[in-house]
Chain A
Amino acid sequence: MVGLSLGEKHFIQGGIAQDLRCDGRKRLTYRPIYVETGVIPQANGSARVRMGATDVIASVKAELGKPNPFQPDKGKVSIFVDCSPTAAPTFEGRGGEELSTELSAALHRCLLGGKSGAGAGIDLSSLVVVEGKICWDLYIDGLVVSSDGNLLDALGAAIKAALSNTGIPRVSVAASAPGDDEPEVDISDEEFLQFDTSGVPVIVTLTKVGKHYIVDATTEEESQMSSAVSISINRQGHICGLTKRGGAGVDPSIILDMISVAKHVSEQLLNQLDSEIAAAEAVNEES
């Protein structure tokens, strides 16, 4: 954990109360975001996102699989997050495992929507090749390379960037007798289908320190939090998922206020992220 003296703690809390944080930011300002796409050639799509000293990598791999018998018209997506002990010694063993499960569950909740698939950032029905028989399984892996707070927002942004970088090979199905359980498929090496990522939400985490809340908290600031709420919001301003961290109780009206603040912040973040992703993709195509 972060070892802070009493003076440092007061300095952080006082700064947040006066809307001037240790690194000169205001309460609702993000650190500069750097996006790099296509960092892992073996994956179908990948991206690296840096926000200050927080550094994460997300990769998307697609494999052909069989759809769930209960949902024959949908593909499958699974999200895993790995907190490597190289990022922080506390990530070794159980500490890292707990954080990984928490982050994976939060990302799952924020990106994949309800059980019926409504509100999902990724359109699962677009992953189906042959209904009930073949679909794409998307494996989204996040890796925390270096941690300086606000991991969830960074991972959310990295996954969004990785998905817009993802190309899924076009699959042609050979005509076969109906009832054939395993139709023959031909995976094209040249033609790739791009993902529509306009529906993928961004995650905004508001960390409550004292009476105020801040976005994009650093590790030092996070150590002073009483609670934090992560809200994922899409282009339309709809809330796609929400998770609360920290055990301290919060008044319901404060949570509703946090949601409206997050909505406001998300618009700027979405625009910034989209332009960063577009710039990164342009660099990729040039090289």
Chain B
Amino acid sequence: MAGKAGATPTTYAPSPTTQKTKSLVFKNDDVDWVRPDKRGFQQCRPAFFRTGAVNAASGSAYAEFGNTKVIVSVFGPRESKKAMMYSDVGRLNCNVSYTTFATPIRGQGSDHKEFSSMLHKSLEGAIILETFPKTTVDVFALILESGGSDLPVVISCASVALADAGIMMYDLVASVSVSCIGKNLIIDPILEEESCQDGSLMITCMPSRYEVTQLTVTGEWSAPKISEGVQLCLDACSKLAKIMRSCLKESASSLEE
């Protein structure tokens, strides 16, 4: 699958219009610094999506961004558990887990509670829960290989899987993160960059509606820097959504044939 991603380089790096700030960002001592994978500071990894990765699921998607590989399957809508109280809107249940071999050091492969709740919070605003009352939609994400920016990839992939399952949504949810290293903003960081970052900012948004469903910031940021990072991410998100949409169109047209 990696070969296919390389053959059609679908990057979603923000357009040059936002790069006017670039000269400002680069005015510091570590100009000569090069990213480990030779990308530009504001250049994203090629994104690859494919739907229908799991047969048993009502919808599923596989995503590959560089070394980050995730698989998300969506089950349902199916009847909520008996113990649950009656609810006239649908429920969303999210679960994110790592495989034991996903990380450089062999992990426990257990559920990632923080990511699960983040995934839930980023998606619930986009799904029209009123369309499936009394039922639950399960979203299970598995990170096959962790290569940095894991959560943004999981979120984007999950929204493609939800669309594949035919769950009604207001818009696709795209997610991008930037890392702050020194004075530079680095988009779509890989694992090495994430381990030495000073701060990070992650946005999940619905690009067509221009709404942010989730935003997290760590590390020390000044207000102008945050707005710069937000703009950078939003621009990349809208481009990423186009790639996601074209993947969905492709799978839909291949079904018709």
Contact = CB atoms under 8 A, between A and B. Distances in A.
Interface of A: 70, 98, 101-102, 105, 109, 112-116, 118-119, 229, 234, 237-252, 255-256, 259-260, 263
A116 B196 contact: yes
6 contacts: A101-B114, A102-B117, A109-B218, A114-B197, A240-B219, A249-B212
A251 B210 contact: yes
B227 interface: yes
B230 A119 contact: no
Most interface-central of B117, B194, B195, B215 (chain A CB within 10 A):
B215
Interface SS, A side: mixed
A237 B215 CA distance: 19
Interface of B: 113-114, 117, 120-126, 180, 194-200, 205-206, 209-223, 226-227, 230, 234
A241 B196 CA distance: 17
B211 A250 contact: yes
B48 to A, nearest CB: 27
Contacts of B197: 114-116
Contacts of A115: 194-197, 200
Contact of A101 (B113, B180, B213): B113
Q: Can you list the 9 inter-chain pairs with the closest CB atoms, starting with the nearest?
A: A119-B220, A249-B211, A114-B219, A247-B124, A247-B125, A242-B217, A118-B198, A114-B199, A119-B219
B220 A240 contact: yes
Contacts of A244: 121, 212, 214-216
Contacts of A247: 120-125, 213
A150 B29 CA distance: 42
Nearest to B118: A105
A234 B210 CA distance: 30
B216 A248 contact: no
Nearest to B217: A242
Contact of B223 (A118, A234, A252, A259): A259
Contacts of B121: 244-247
A113 B220 CA distance: 7
Given A241-B217, A242-B217, A263-B223, 9 more contacts: A101-B117, A109-B216, A109-B218, A115-B197, A116-B198, A244-B212, A247-B123, A252-B234, A255-B212
A260 B212 CA distance: 17
Nearest to A227: B125
A119 B215 contact: no
Given A238-B221, A249-B125, A256-B230, A229 B215 contact: yes
Contact of A113 (B125, B195, B218): B218
B136 to A, nearest CB: 14
A109 B198 CA distance: 12
Contacts of B219: 113-114, 118-119, 240-241
Nearest to B201: A242
Contact of A119 (B205, B212, B221): B221
Contacts of A241: 217-219
B230 A113 contact: no
Contacts of B222: 237-239
Nearest to A71: B195
A239 B216 contact: no
Nearest to A119: B220
A21 to B, nearest CB: 26
B44 to A, nearest CB: 19
A40 B230 CA distance: 42
A252 B117 contact: no
A242 B215 contact: yes
Contacts of B212: 244, 249-252, 255
Nearest to A243: B216
A260 to B, nearest CB: 7
A113 B123 CA distance: 26
Given A239-B226, A249-B206, A259-B226, A114 B215 contact: no
B211 A98 contact: no
A249 B227 CA distance: 17
Contacts of A260: 223
A115 B125 CA distance: 29
Contacts of B126: 249
Contacts of A249: 125-126, 205-206, 209, 211-213
B195 A105 contact: no
Nearest to A256: B227
B29 to A, nearest CB: 16
Contacts of A229: 215
A246 B118 CA distance: 10
A130 B219 CA distance: 26
Contacts of B194: 115
